[in-house]
Amino acid sequence: MSHDDTRTDRLRSVPRHVAIIMDGNGRWARARGLERSAGHERGITVADEVIMAAAERGVRHLTLYAFSVFNWSRPRAEIDMLMRMCAEFAERYRERYRASGIRLGVIGDLEELPTPTRRAVEATVEATRDGTRLHVTLALSYGCRSDLVSAVRAIAAHAQAGLLLPEEIDEQALRRFMTTSQMPDPDLVIRTGGEKRLSDFLLFEGANAELYFCDAMWPDFDAARLDEALDVYARRERRFGRTAEQVAAAHD
């Protein structure tokens, strides 16, 4: 199969929702004798490049793991720097995304964020709310398990108040109380940096997602590497519990 044929196949099967664990900023900087902040700064630029590339390729939802609940255990100086960079990202690209039809959203516990960071992100969410080309979601102070716990607590409170009957509690009811309730399940989860784990990222929502692990550090990720991931995704068979024969019959 030629490169053009592969590209055509990929374009026909572009995942609706791509989620990325952006890993490797610190190691990228350390390998170059730079401060970790240099890796994170480069990572912001790459995030913008990948957002625009995803929009050009027809991806409709892109979720970026920007700051995990586990990241609060990092040194205070690095946390402060990351929070400043989150605010700078939201402010730097606000008008660009609004004009490009790119909508920004957030999952996670925003109440945990410093006020300047939260306000900058919320301002960009509001400014881009009418975007329909691509919905970008930043996972900030996010962890799937903590999101599930918060959802279960909310369900328990509703049940105690008589607003929800036990027999009404199912998967869809649970999802309505999660911060990810407005997004479709991810079709493809990419992790950069060479590690092969999900680190509490969309574990519930990504139960049927295809996984793609990339050795490149996040600051070295680019549109070409995104294309590689999309090419791999296009060649995989999505069965969702069915046999290969059932899948083939459904496509006939």
Give the active site residues. 23, 71
Structure letter (DSSP) for residue 101 = T
Backbone angles phi, psi at 101, to 5 degrees: 75, 25
Q: Which of 71, 160, 60 is nearest to 108 (CA)?
A: 71
Alpha helix locations (H) across 128-222?
Answer: 144-160, 171-176
Is 107:142 a contact under the CB 8 Å cutoff?
yes
Transcribe 155-182 into DSSP letters: HHHHHHTTSS-GGG-SHHHHHHTSTTTT
CA distance 47 to 70: 21
Structure letter (DSSP) for residue 64 = E
